[in-house]
Amino acid sequence: KIRHLVDPPPPHLAGRIAFHRLNIKNDSRLEGLIKMADLTINLAAICTPADYNTRPLDTIYSNFIDALPVVKYCSENSKRLIHFSTCEVYGKTIGSFLPKDHPLRKEAEFYVLTEDESPCIFGPIVKQRWSYACAKQLIERLVFAEGAENGLEFTIVRPFNWIGPRMDFIPGVDGPSEGVPRVLACFSNNLLRREPLKLVDGGESQRTFVYIKDAIEAVLLMIENPARANGHIFNVGNPDNEVTVRELAEMMTEVYAKVSGEPPLEEPVIDVSAKEFYGEGYDDSDKRIPDMTLINKQLGWNPKTPLKDLLETTLT
């Protein structure tokens, strides 16, 4: 996804990018590169839901064990770190444990997720889908502890479903023919192949989606304002762009018909079980609404792009 920036770089980036391909878990060059930099932004991870319960060891290692040297070298060399975590560290909402018709489900305190207040609730150990969230939460705790005990300057980012062009892969087109990408690419793949969109367990889970360009603006503010960003964990999402996965499928079907000129399928969606789609051990969070108070207060950032507009841009 970055080949167009480095092989060769476009004229406006020539001389501004030095690209090093290395494995962070066993390459001796890592510490030297961190020493040379003013800031390290760690985005390395396995972060595709289909992998969490089929490759739990790889998931845990990539998101915790393999990230340890990055945190260690930043701390030992007094280098600032922006570490990318995930909204999955919140797990399930308190509201998900209430009866479906319980009036408290409508109270924001039972489902809006706040960085320094909301509990992190995961499923049982046999549901290996939570291997990702647990590994990400533990590395967050390590980063925070390095800040408290050793003075590491850090910012932790919790992305809430960043989507847009170049996200993920279309199987067999710009990625492996095997494997299951994330929901936007899954649905895009179905639309391109004129296949029904598969809704896991009826597509009842609720998600918020934020446009990648909006999210990058937030990260730039973190980079440019260390005094206001250091020591904080920031939700980066768009609470106004909340839909069920079923509603997302319906919206993408409508938008794709508009931009492609092709008529929608007679049967645009089908229901599948989580076990059939993801395999044994899958579990899911019910709802993820980010509280945006902290990032707005510290950095003055708010997302701007409505969901239908960003889907149209992405699918065009």
Task: Tell me the pairing of strands 206-208 and 242-244.
Answer: antiparallel
- Residue 176's alpha-carbon distances to 170, 173, 193, in angstroms, are 8, 8, 16
Taking a C-beta distance cutoff of 8 angstroms, is the pair 172, 127 a contact? Answer: no
The Cα 108–Cα 113 span in angstroms is: 9
Single out the catalytic residue among 52, 111, 132, 211. Answer: 132
Return the SS3 of 203.
Answer: helix
Based on the residue annotation, tell me whether 132 is a catalytic residue of this protein.
Answer: yes
User: What's the residue count for the chain?
Assistant: 316
Cβ neighbors of 294 (< 8 A, separation 6 or more) are 114, 115, 116, 232, 233, 234, 235
Is 281 buried (19+), middle (13-18) or exposed (0-12) by CB count in 10 A?
buried
- The beta-strand segments (E) located in 36-125 are 39-42, 80-84, 112-113
Residues marked active site are found at 132
